[in-house]
Amino acid sequence: MTPGAALAAGGPVDAVIEGFQPRHAQQEMADRVAAAIQSHGHLVCEAGTGTGKTFAYLVPALMAGVRTILSTATRTLQDQLFHVDLPRVRAALKSEASVALLKGRSNYLCLHRMEQAAGDPLVGPREQKELAVVTAWSRETVLGDIAEVSEVSEESPLWPYVTSTVENCLGQKCPRIDDCHVKEARRRAVAADLVVVNHHLLFADMALRDAGFGEILPTAQCVVIDEAHQLPELAANAFGHALSARQLRELSRDSDRAARSEAPDMPDLREAARLLEQGVEQAIGALAQFSGKQSESLLTAHPVLGELLDTLHGHLTALGTQLELASGRGEELEACERRSAELLLKLRECLQQDDSESVRWLEAGARGFVLHVTPLSIADRFRARLEHYPAAWVFCSGTLAIGGSVAHFCRELGILEADEAVWNSPFDYANQALLHLPPIPCDPSDQRYLPLICDIAEAVFAASRGRAFFLFTSYRALEFCAARLRGRLPWPILVQGDAPRARLLAEFRRLGNAVLFGTATFWEGVDVRGEALSCVIIDKLPFAPPDDPVARARADRLAAEGRSAFNELQLPAAVITLKQGAGRLIRDAADRGVLVLCDPRLKSRGYGKLFLKSLPPMPVTRELSDVQKFFASFEGKADAGKAGSIG
């Protein structure tokens, strides 16, 4: 039996999984995945919303009986894949393949660091209460996955104190190594036939960093990358360098704690740690006024910033010297010495990098900063990694194609030979959806633009009775529109930043008639089904900000080569992002809704046709009256029993 036949009507999946609906595109995709596995080839494909791409790669992977790695974008998607989708498919196929879930080490409780946190003065009273919850859970858990602790928010400041990183892990010298949850997770993964990971873990290993994954990837015969549209950015980060204020601050605090316990007679060591943390705080304070992504030219324009980072280099060097003097005094100090050397090397790379193939930049905020070195192109490096791991590679996403072609994605990643396919969504967009392009007399750069789209949104919300996402390309636009509409809309208003994303989504679903204002974090990875989300409004085409340092450096390089940065970089990236945002609207065969794209450039610029061609085919209108008629046509037809979930 072929994988496509297994997914057909009357097949094992249809027979066992309640509510399963056979789809021709899903069956085709499954057979193409099977062909890639058999030939050890590459498959790059887009499968529109509703195709069922998860089953389309799980079925052939399990039926092939080969060692498989499944990588997806987030921990939430990992859990959905491992705990929900995979067990159902295994049961349907009666597969005996062993499976394992492997996350990055910071997702697992570190018993040694948990014990240290109990007496750490830096762990505040609130976190001490949460620590008591974690400690009680630690006596019962088998996996040590911190996602099990629902009582402690995933944003809690406690987690860095009770989990480990590559930098602070003591490895084989840890006194709790025999009970290490990370070691056990790796052991299960090494022994499994199919391992579910996330992109960050996969790329950390591909970039030759110690992610604890190196024993698994070389033995895989098939690697499936879901949500593959994220790969170019993730690969650029993985193949570059980065150093954060958090890493330096944690080194300072861990060094101070280690000195108190293992070298109490070395006050100079503790003083060096204190000076490093002081230098970090000074740098954070100085950089905070330059919030966001900044080019390295910022350091030239403001010499005091460069001086602060040079001072930070001096403090880190001094701490490293003290830690070297303390060598042999204890395992914690030895680990800190190794970390200081590694971070010093990273800092030098970020401050002194002189490489025409990379761009230096920094990201600053009120609570910290990150220094980056990012390659201008990752095609050659990624292609080399594919050649290094000669498995079948399957890249799939709901949003890879631009104008019906995945060529841009292949070019970015250096994929030279691949089977390519695009399957459109099976949903009936012609009857389920309406695209509204409101006539707006000015471009987004005009000061009249935001007040105008607020008026448009208010009129659309009146027709949709709330039940909408208002998605923005910038925080500035979000804040303006939220402030302007907050007192004018009769429906509940939920604004990004007022609460964690998960809480906002839960409240949005519960209310059933809310309007949620969000930026990039709500453009993808959010699955709200049913009438609670019946309208998506997007403020403008999501072109990358012109001041983005990486985008600008890449554009300058293409211009120097006589090529068009707009056509090769900016336009394709904006098309993919728009497809992600628009994809929030129709998530189920019974969903209906209106997509409103406010940007007049969709009609006034030639490139607007490419955006429209890349969206699912649906009726288009310029008239608000058509929007009102659309909603009136199913007024009161509640779709009870449908629920949303992040996915």
pLDDT digits (tens, 9 = 90+) for 529-555: 999 999 999 999 999 887 889 999 999
The residue type found at 387 is E
> Which two three-digit tokens encode residue 349?
């790379």
Rounded CA gap, 231 and 68, in Å? 19
Rounded CA gap, 504 and 495, in Å? 8
* Residue 645 in this model has a pLDDT that exceeds 60: no
Q: CA torsion, points 274, 280, 281, 282, in degrees to nearest 10?
A: 110
**pLDDT computed for residue 214 by the predictor:** 66
* pLDDT digits 0-9 by tens, 24-79: 999 999 999 999 999 999 999 999 999 999 999 999 999 999 999 999 998 888 99
Mean pLDDT of 171-183: 93
**pLDDT computed for residue 638 by the predictor:** 43
Please report which confidence band the pLDDT of residue 388 belongs to, taking 50, 70 and 90 as the band edges.
confident
CA distances (Å), 454 to each of 172, 482, 486, 593, in order?
A: 59, 9, 11, 19
**pLDDT computed for residue 28 by the predictor:** 98
CA distances (Å), 402 to each of 405, 579, 620, in order?
A: 5, 9, 20
By the 8 A CB rule, do 29 and 48 touch? no
**Tokens 């911190």 — which residue?**
146
DSSP letter at 295 equals E
* pLDDT digits 0-9 by tens, 211-236: 555 677 778 999 999 999 999 999 99
**pLDDT computed for residue 57 by the predictor:** 98
Rounded CA gap, 23 and 11, in Å? 12
More confident residue, 443 or 635: 443
* pLDDT digits 0-9 by tens, 305-318: 999 999 999 999 99
Please report which confidence band the pLDDT of residue 470 belongs to, taking 50, 70 and 90 as the band edges.
very high
In terms of Cβ atoms closer than 10 Å to its own Cβ (0-12, 13-18, 19+), residue 546 is: exposed
Phi, psi of 369 (to 5 degrees): -150, 160
Rounded CA gap, 110 and 90, in Å? 32
CA distances (Å), 221 to each of 37, 55, 393, 476, in order?
A: 8, 19, 9, 47
What percentage of the chain carries pLDDT values higher than 90? 82
CA distances (Å), 133 to each of 139, 176, 207, in order?
A: 11, 20, 36
By the 8 A CB rule, do 277 and 253 touch? yes
In terms of Cβ atoms closer than 10 Å to its own Cβ (0-12, 13-18, 19+), residue 328 is: exposed
More confident residue, 445 or 388: 445
Alpha helices in 294-427 (DSSP H): 297-301, 303-325, 331-352, 379-388, 407-413
Phi, psi of 594 (to 5 degrees): -115, 130
Phi, psi of 423 (to 5 degrees): -115, 120
**pLDDT computed for residue 641 by the predictor:** 35
Please report which confidence band the pLDDT of residue 208 belongs to, taking 50, 70 and 90 as the band edges.
low
Rounded CA gap, 42 and 386, in Å? 10
Mean pLDDT of 77-84: 92
Please report which confidence band the pLDDT of residue 640 belongs to, taking 50, 70 and 90 as the band edges.
very low
Rounded CA gap, 368 and 275, in Å? 17
By the 8 A CB rule, do 514 and 467 touch? yes
* Residue 210 in this model has a pLDDT that exceeds 60: no
**pLDDT computed for residue 355 by the predictor:** 78
Please report which confidence band the pLDDT of residue 112 belongs to, taking 50, 70 and 90 as the band edges.
very high
Q: CA torsion, points 217, 222, 225, 231, in degrees to nearest 10?
A: 60
What percentage of the chain carries pLDDT values higher than 70? 96
Q: 607: which residues sit within 8 A by CB, 6+ positions away?
A: 571, 601
The kind and range of the H/E element at 122 are: none
> Which two three-digit tokens encode residue 6?
């297994």
**pLDDT computed for residue 327 by the predictor:** 85
- Residues comprising the chain, all counted: 647
Structural domains in the chain, CATH included, are 3-97+193-238+378-423 (3.40.50.300), 109-172 (no CATH), 242-375 (1.20.1440), 429-632 (3.40.50.300)
More confident residue, 412 or 525: 412
Rounded CA gap, 183 and 112, in Å? 13
Q: What SS3 class is residue 517?
A: strand
